[in-house]
Structure 1
């Protein structure tokens, strides 16, 4: 066992504060990682505050992890001490259901093991995440990071925001010649714009905030549509091959579905706390449109995403913070006061 130094929530209503706990001793197939950077995701806030159901406390959030390998088990073959690696939203799965066999561990029939606030497969102990100075992870769920070391803090959000947007863009085969809409320009949306543009699509940002237009164009969008403007939305009718909706608050989906052409798909990746209003049936059936959902990606696809982003020079736009600033960061996230992801410098966890 080793002692990990972290920040944890002790209840749904208390702020995150310093906390120490025991990490397991690495087994033959484990990788021990000194955490360098951990991104701050809306999921962290929702979980710490039990907004998506009761969390297990103490809760140590964090699933956008970049670190350096400090030790490997005797049967580990893919990593060595000193490697720069990533850990995303899951650290295990059952390994024997059909989704796991197909490399879709995120859809494990028996429930994937999340990086935090989840049950380990064997011990059923609660997992504690990346707001800590080190972590021990089963080799299969560790990822190679090929970006330059100067970019590592900005790589961290790729482990959630990057794969959450990359996976549906790949699943629906987005590429050159496609007109693709991204709804919302936050932590997810700004990654969606970057990745869809790198895939060769003509990218259009839908936003309620006209002030985000310049940023969207800088990130790779070719057009910006203010979705509160009915005339602007009408001008987009029947023209999109694919729309990725990243907005995590309930809103009317019908204007975006109307923007899809025949056989077009809108995929939801934002997760609001209460449901969207139900879309009208005729908007779907008259053009054989599809409304879908997607959740992160399997390990192989996440590695593919990291390699793709390294090749194309893609990282997240971030604001680095110290660990002691985490509660302030949560409040600022609620106000959308970040462009576009907070990342904690984990060397500050004991300050």
Structure 2
């Protein structure tokens, strides 16, 4: 076991504080990663505050991890010391179920994927995330970060990037398709960049117009305020695909009305409260209401290569570790453009 410094929530809703944790020894298929940067995802806050249900404490959040390999196990074949790598939302799965065999480990049905934090590994030990100096991960759940991406701007791609890339690819966003990104935050800004790079006509639907200039700069063709009732009149029946990144309950019927026939509203944001729906909103127009998680390991690598090829990472604000609690409050206040990233050298 190796002792490393980390920032952890000691209990639900408690401020994160500096502590130490134990990392396992490097096994045959493991890589030891010197964490350089760790993004702050809204889901870190949901889990640290038990918004999604009972959690495991102490909790070291962080599943947007970018770093450098410093040691490899004797059976490792995919990585070498010095490689630039990333770790996202999962560090293991059953590897045997239909989903895992199809490269969709995020939908593992053989016990579920093992989360990078707030989960139990196959030995029954809690997993600890990227708000730490180092992490040990099986090579099969590690991806390479292309040289064209800075590690700091690449870190949020391990969750925010793949969470948008996967549904945009699955629902065929591209030339000739009208795509709306609902919410202009850490997830949404990546949706704008990716949908634009895929060749779709991109519209941002945001509560207000205060981020309009940013949205247009990042690749949006249009930008509308959802607080204006005229938006829903003007855009009725417009979109092939809407990807919702918001984590608060919505009037789903209002947004389903913005779809063309056979259009899809895909949720990647996860509100803590249940949402009701009149099914006639779906029946009229043969519309689809769907959800999407992250992508599998192969698709995550594809996404990183795609972002590097198109010359973009996340828009970030770099912070020190002692600013994490302040950053959490700013995320809740939508006061970040567009992803906080922890410089883990400050832990």
TM-score (normalizing by structure 1): 0.97
CA distance in 1, matches of 2:257, 2:82: 51
Equivalent in the alignment of 1:201: 200
Equivalent in the alignment of 1:188: 187
Instruction: State whether residues 225 and 233 of structure 1, in contact with CA within 8 Å, keep that contact through their aligned partners in structure 2.
Output: no
Shift of 1:184: 0.6
Distance 1:147 1:254, change over 3 A: farther
Equivalent in the alignment of 2:294: 296
CA distance in 2, matches of 1:84, 1:92: 20
Aligned residue pair count: 346
CA distance in 2, matches of 1:251, 1:3: 44
- SS of the aligned residue for 1:106 comes to helix
Shift of 1:13: 3.3
Shift of 1:246: 0.7
Shift of 1:50: 1.6
Residue by residue, what CA displacement relative to the aligned partner does 1:219-274 show, whole Å, maximum 9, x if unpaired?
11000111122222211111211110111111111121111111111100011111
Instruction: State whether residues 267 and 292 of structure 2, in contact with CA within 8 Å, keep that contact through their aligned partners in structure 1.
Output: yes
CA distance in 2, matches of 1:6, 1:22: 10
- SS of the aligned residue for 1:35 comes to strand
Instruction: State whether residues 146 and 307 of structure 1, in contact with CA within 8 Å, keep that contact through their aligned partners in structure 2.
Output: yes
Of residues 79-88 and 40-49 in structure 1, the stretch that sits farther from structure 2 once superposed is 40-49
CA distance in 1, matches of 2:147, 2:216: 24
Equivalent in the alignment of 1:125: 125
- SS of the aligned residue for 1:118 comes to coil
Equivalent in the alignment of 1:88: 88
Shift of 1:284: 1.3
CA distance in 2, matches of 1:75, 1:12: 39
Equivalent in the alignment of 1:213: 212
Shift of 1:39: 0.2
Equivalent in the alignment of 2:116: 115
- SS of the aligned residue for 1:174 comes to coil
CA distance in 2, matches of 1:226, 1:16: 35
CA distance in 2, matches of 1:18, 1:99: 37
Alignment pair present for 1:320 and 2:318: yes
Instruction: State whether residues 148 and 311 of structure 2, in contact with CA within 8 Å, keep that contact through their aligned partners in structure 1.
Output: no
Equivalent in the alignment of 1:175: 174
Where does 1:118-267 land on structure 2 (aligned, <5 Å)?
118-121=119-122, 123-148=123-148, 151-267=150-266
Shift of 1:116: 0.4
Instruction: State whether residues 147 and 155 of structure 1, in contact with CA within 8 Å, keep that contact through their aligned partners in structure 2.
Output: no
Equivalent in the alignment of 2:99: 99
CA distance in 2, matches of 1:42, 1:24: 27
**Gapped runs of 5+ residues in structure 2?**
none
Residue by residue, what CA displacement relative to the aligned partner does 1:287-318 show, whole Å, maximum 9, x if unpaired?
10110000011101111101100101121111
Residue by residue, what CA displacement relative to the aligned partner does 1:85-122 show, whole Å, maximum 9, x if unpaired?
0000000001111111111111111111000010102x
Give the alignment's Cα RMSD to 1 decimal. 1.0
CA distance in 1, matches of 2:18, 2:183: 34
CA distance in 1, matches of 2:14, 2:268: 28
Instruction: State whether residues 9 and 15 of structure 2, in contact with CA within 8 Å, keep that contact through their aligned partners in structure 1.
Output: yes
Instruction: State whether residues 33 and 70 of structure 1, in contact with CA within 8 Å, keep that contact through their aligned partners in structure 2.
Output: yes
Equivalent in the alignment of 1:41: 41
Instruction: State whether residues 208 and 224 of structure 2, in contact with CA within 8 Å, keep that contact through their aligned partners in structure 1.
Output: no
Q: Which aligned runs of 4 or more in structure 1 are off by greater than 6 angstroms?
A: none
- SS of the aligned residue for 1:211 comes to coil
- SS of the aligned residue for 1:330 comes to helix
Of residues 20-29 and 196-205 in structure 1, the stretch that sits farther from structure 2 once superposed is 20-29
**Gapped runs of 5+ residues in structure 1?**
none
